[in-house]
Chain A
Amino acid sequence: MNTAQTMLICDDEEELAHELGEYFTSLGWRVELSVTAENAIGHLRQGLAPRVLITDLRIGAVDGRQVVAEARALPEALRPALIIIITGHVMHNVAAADFDSDFLYVKPVDPNDILDDIAAGLAGGTTAGG
């Protein structure tokens, strides 16, 4: 695992954000936590340049797709290589691509699954899953 890589986790569910952060930090990731969309967008604009962005689909009153759109709009050097959405909402017949993300998970999710997908995604450029 590339320990120099940065991950931005954005979820208004603070406990979940912390658990996710702890999990990936233990695996060598440099994790930045945001419990608001504004904070996450601020990190992105300020040049955090995370390798992976994990965001909830609804962060308080803000749509997580705004964070995704902000990340996609960054210059390539600052743009995350993988964007992952984790949501607790009902999902039928939807795919990650529908939200312009690389992976889509419905809570609760096994972190090992996320880890496997990140490894595969960073290695082979996979853009489908969920």
Chain B
Amino acid sequence: MILSRNRRSLGLLKIGLVVASVALFLATALVYVSQTRQQAFLTATIRSSGWVAYQAQLEFVKVQAEFAKLSIVPSVHGVHALMLRLEILRSRLPLLYDSDEGRVLSDVVDTRGPTQIFEVRLDQVIDDVARLDPEDGDAAAELRALSAELEPLGEALQTILMQSVAYNQEIFRRERALAQRPGAVPLVLLFISGACLAAVLILQSRRDRIRLGEIGEAQAALAAVEENLRAVIQAVPACVVVIDPDTDHVSFFNPSAATLVSPSLDDPAWPRFVKAVRGAAGEPDTRRWGALTMGYARGPGDIISLRGSVGSVLWERRQQQLIVLVDTSRVRNAELQVMQAAKLATLGEMATAIAHELNQPLAVIKMAVANARRLLDPLPGGEPVAAKLERISAQVDRAKRITDQVRRYGRMPTEHLLPFSLRHAVELAAGFVAEQFRAANIALSIETSAPAELLVFGEQTMFEQVIVNVLINARDAFEAQDGEAQDGEAPRDDTDHQSDAGSRESGVGDREGGAGDRAVRVSIGLEEGRAVVLVQDNAGGVPPEMLERLFEPFATTKSTEKGTGLGLSLARSVIRDMNGTIVVENRGGGACFAITLPTTQASATQDAA
């Protein structure tokens, strides 16, 4: 505010000084010109006035000379010459007071009074001369008398001439003095004018300095703002890209965009990205956030969902286009997972209902087969029919396995998870399959670095089912290696292997195996406060194309006799309900399933937090 007021005051002062300077300069010039012209005029006039006095005096002398000459030898010619001289003298007298020069002369000496008196007298003298007869003897005396009458005129003219000469001398002296000493006023005026101009220049330079300072500060502030903006743009998790709308060349991208597309501008991924944005944007200017939604293929099978906007922006002094996008893949995936979960929940409910309804006719078939077999027994030659009945019964059992698995799959998760001993559950599950492993010549071993009292939360029976499923999956992989060696890949999962309550008493059995190369090793440990169960086999591993889908429902490479394709999907569901994870990878010549679960201690800590 103060700075602004000072600036306004300085501006007004500067304008005032400029006006004063110009006015003074003009005044100086006018005064100078006026004085010079007046002086020149006056000088000329004064000098002319002296000349007028001199002419009058000269004519008087000539008249006196004509009188003297005519007095000696009177003649008609002489009379005429005298009259001419008298007429000329008469015409000179009014000039002494009734002309510019005469008026100037009047300021110095009275010219009117002394001369006008003689004008009348001079007229009488002219008349007298005109009447004069040169032949008359008195003519000479008369001429002398007339000449004597004019003597006072001569004295008056002499006085006027002398006064004029003195005046001219004084004027000449003053001119010389003036020429030697320039006028102080113009100098003072010029000095003031120059001072004003100097002050104007000083003020202007000061104002320019202030303005330059302000511009510098503004530029520094602008640079700081730009720097901050750039820092913000660099730090935001959104992808920010600026492109030239004419060439589609990328002018700028932030680290998030570099991560998404490429850190190098020369990468051909950038033109592909810009083309994808252009294709998705449709409208030339989709400023509204969310107006732009697109998918971008970062690599084969790696498609990212993006959402954002495209708009014009003034970037590096040019009109360019600003693209802002955020990766919504996780949100999108979460939405898909929710949709998938909802679909699966519905599917589970449907499957449960269908399983229940199917079990009714299956029960009837099962009973009817039993009765038919009983009726057939006493009849001779009924073996082929008995074999068919056996097949029917076996197929009913298979259908029952499917419905049981489907019902498990569609079960609702337990709301209240109960703690149980992880090690004990694993041992029970291993015990359930021990006999099958022994028969298949597979060495099953359990290694534990976790304490026996390590507890996890969940449904123990369901968890045991998970371990059984994974173990039987390994067994089937070994069998597939034997039976389908030509395929080179071992089928995986989906087996419907359930442990019922009555079978749990089975011991772990042949943990050390005795089975050559075939081995399945179960290890229980603790990593970063979470329980980890690893099930490692050496059955060749999971086909790579199946790794991603192994836990999806109905994903299997096995024959229909081996399973439903729901076993590992159910396992994932159970582990997820326990707030844990189950993953698989190929290593050590086989598949390695890793189950990670929160322990009671970790859960307690979480609750406390």
Contact = CB atoms under 8 A, between A and B. Distances in A.
A26 B399 CA distance: 27
B461 A88 contact: no
B396 interface: yes
B9 to A, nearest CB: 93
B608 interface: no
Contacts of B13: none
Given A90-B407, A95-B501, A112 B360 contact: no
A93 to B, nearest CB: 6
B444 to A, nearest CB: 26
Nearest to A88: B359
B236 interface: no
Interface stretch (B148-156, B188-196, B333-341, B368-376): B368-376
B368 to A, nearest CB: 5
A20 interface: yes
B370 A111 contact: yes
Given A89-B356, A90-B352, A90-B407, A13 B363 contact: yes
Given A90-B356, A92-B411, A109 B363 contact: yes
B370 A23 contact: yes
Interface in B77-91: none
A120 interface: no
B356 A19 contact: no
Contacts of A130: 501
B378 to A, nearest CB: 11
A110 interface: yes
A108 B371 contact: no
Given A90-B411, A93-B461, A95-B501, A111 B367 contact: yes
B504 interface: no
B364 interface: yes
Q: Is the interface of A mostly helix, strand, loop or mixed?
A: loop
B497 interface: no
A92 B405 CA distance: 12
Nearest to B374: A26
A63 interface: no
A19 B364 CA distance: 7
Contact of B367 (A19, A92, A95, A129): A19
A116 interface: no
A89 B362 CA distance: 13
Contacts of B502: 129
A111 B374 CA distance: 11
Nearest to B357: A88
Interface in A1-35: 13, 15-16, 19-20, 22-23, 26
Interface in A98-121: 106-112
B366 interface: yes
A110 B369 CA distance: 10
B367 A20 contact: yes
A59 interface: no
A110 B462 CA distance: 24
Contacts of A107: 359-360, 362-363
Contacts of B371: 19, 22-23, 26
B363 A88 contact: yes
B537 interface: no
11 contacts: A90-B356, A92-B461, A93-B459, A93-B461, A95-B501, A107-B359, A108-B399, A110-B370, A111-B367, A111-B370, A130-B501
Interface of B: 352, 355-357, 359-360, 362-368, 370-371, 374, 396, 399-400, 404, 407-408, 410-411, 459, 461-462, 501-502
